[in-house]
Amino acid sequence: MSKGLKVRFAPSPTGFLHIGSARTALFNWLFAKKYNASFILRIEDTDLKRSRDEFLNEIMDSLRWLGLRWDEVYYQSRRFDLYREYAQKLLDNNKAAREDGAIVFKYQFEKIEFNDLIRGGIEFSELPRESEVLIKSDGTPTYSFACCVDDALLGITHVIRGEDHIPNTPKQILIYKALGFEIPQFAHLPMILSPEGGKMSKRFGATAIKQYKADGYLPQALTNYLLLLGWSPKDDREIIGLKEAASLFDIKDVNKTAAAFSLEKLDWINSEHIKNMPAQALGECLKEYLESRDFLPENTKKDYLESVAELFKTRLRKLSDFISRAYFCFYDDYSFSPETRDILNRDLSPETKILSERFSGLESFDKMIIEKEFRAVAQDAGLKVRDLVHPVRVALSGGKVGPGLFETMEVLGKERVLARLKRLIDYWQNKG
């Protein structure tokens, strides 16, 4: 492709950024990265009554969080004089007229054909009405008119947007022509549907991007999933980073058919990204997330958080899972869950005391030595290893399941393990 390419993402700050709009931003960003094009952020805030700073800030923060940085930003609310100037040109050339205080565009109808980079040739043989308001009676521009003027003046060469904008395209082509503007190339992305094939709802994906962040999704996992809602690498891989995706991306490879949103698939992709993160990176990510939830105790050491993260990384779908699963690694005020009662029915306090004494004498508290001592105590007591594993796990975590017991002990450290074994012994003795 030639130099000087430009694409744009044009959100309206009348609501938060959602999955569909985020995917549109992503595909524009990928196109820009692939072809060394400029990625423009254009804020379509012409609706002065409904546009709010709260929405604008969330949109921009969400794009940054997703890693979709823009090269330039423009605000339509600051360009009203331009739109009126070009509307006046149409009036002067008898291509528009004033009606009831508004300026309307009079279509000189012709069959409209254009080549969609995703869908191929699209033809319109008629338009829904004979005229189109360009400037409303209050002096503000309509969507289609401001869109055409901005795309031309900002040098937008490729318009990549959702397929719901296809009906707007013939009207906009006629406006481009009437103003003598060069017509950009169009690419209309497929719709994103609910798992049942219907319209997206809050239950199925129509959630603000900031909520996905709050729920514990990684930005690289969310962009990875958005990629797959319309495009995928040709080698059938599903886990891919943005940098590699940009090198492989071709807008012509985007699917024509609608994509179904699947929360289960998103969870799986997120879990894969968590598994693949180095301990340090995951630790930093968790620190930011947990501090935003006021979860981390003060003075939690970086190395300890990384060790706990490594312990649980294969068991997490989302960062939020860490709070419930790893609670016992940071706090002692947990109770033995009701389903553990059958495990604790058998009093093994004598054997647990011996285990505690053996652990107390260890100079090195690593998992291999811990396991060796643990198995020796079980063997000497005539127990199967699992007979001792289950109650000790309950003592350490309050639950029946979790990461490897010996790895967990190593991470918790000797002092904490001994204190919890004593708590288990006291439980049995007081129960008796």
Residue 378 has pLDDT above 90, yes or no: yes
For 22-56, the pLDDT digits (tens) are 999 999 999 999 999 999 999 999 999 999 999 99
CA pair distance 383, 35, nearest whole angstrom: 67
The residues spanned by each domain of the chain are 6-76+192-264, 79-189, 277-329, 338-431
CA pair distance 287, 140, nearest whole angstrom: 46
Residue 338 has pLDDT above 90, yes or no: no
pLDDT computed for residue 341 by the predictor: 85
Is 34 among the catalytic positions? no
For 146-188, the pLDDT digits (tens) are 999 999 999 999 999 999 999 999 999 999 999 999 999 999 9
Mean pLDDT score, 2-21: 92
CA pair distance 256, 118, nearest whole angstrom: 6
Topology alike, domains 6-76+192-264 and 79-189: yes
For 354-371, the pLDDT digits (tens) are 999 999 999 999 999 999
Residue 254 has pLDDT above 50, yes or no: yes
CA pair distance 283, 295, nearest whole angstrom: 14
Q: In 3-state terms, what secondary structure has residue 201?
A: strand
For 111-139, the pLDDT digits (tens) are 899 999 999 999 998 776 678 899 999 99
Please list, in sequence order, all residues whose beta carbon lies within 8 angstroms of the beta carbon of residue 31, skipping any fewer than 6 positions away.
7, 37, 158, 160, 249, 251
Which one is catalytic: 3, 89, 199, 202? 202
Mean pLDDT score, 217-244: 94
Mean pLDDT score, 312-326: 97
**Answer CATH for 79-189 from 3.40.50.620, 3.50.50.60, 3.40.50.1820, 3.40.50.970:** 3.40.50.620
For 61-114, the pLDDT digits (tens) are 999 999 999 999 999 999 999 999 999 999 999 999 999 999 999 887 778 999
pLDDT computed for residue 236 by the predictor: 82
Q: Domain spanning 338-431 has what CATH number?
A: 1.10.10.350
pLDDT computed for residue 196 by the predictor: 76
pLDDT computed for residue 200 by the predictor: 73
pLDDT computed for residue 2 by the predictor: 47
Which tokens belong to 238?
A: 């599903």
Please list, in sequence order, all residues whose beta carbon lies within 8 angstroms of the beta carbon of residue 271, skipping any fewer than 6 positions away.
316, 317, 318
Which tokens belong to 17?
A: 């950024």
Please list, in sequence order, all residues whose beta carbon lies within 8 angstroms of the beta carbon of residue 40, skipping any fewer than 6 positions away.
6, 7, 8, 9, 70, 71, 72, 73, 74, 154, 156
Mean pLDDT score, 277-305: 96
**Answer CATH for 277-329 from 1.10.357, 2.60.40, 1.10.8, 3.30.460:** 1.10.8
Q: Domain spanning 6-76+192-264 has what CATH number?
A: 3.40.50.620
What is the percent of the chain where pLDDT is above 70? 97
pLDDT computed for residue 202 by the predictor: 57
Pick from 158, 182, 167, 162: which is nearest to 112 by CA?
A: 167
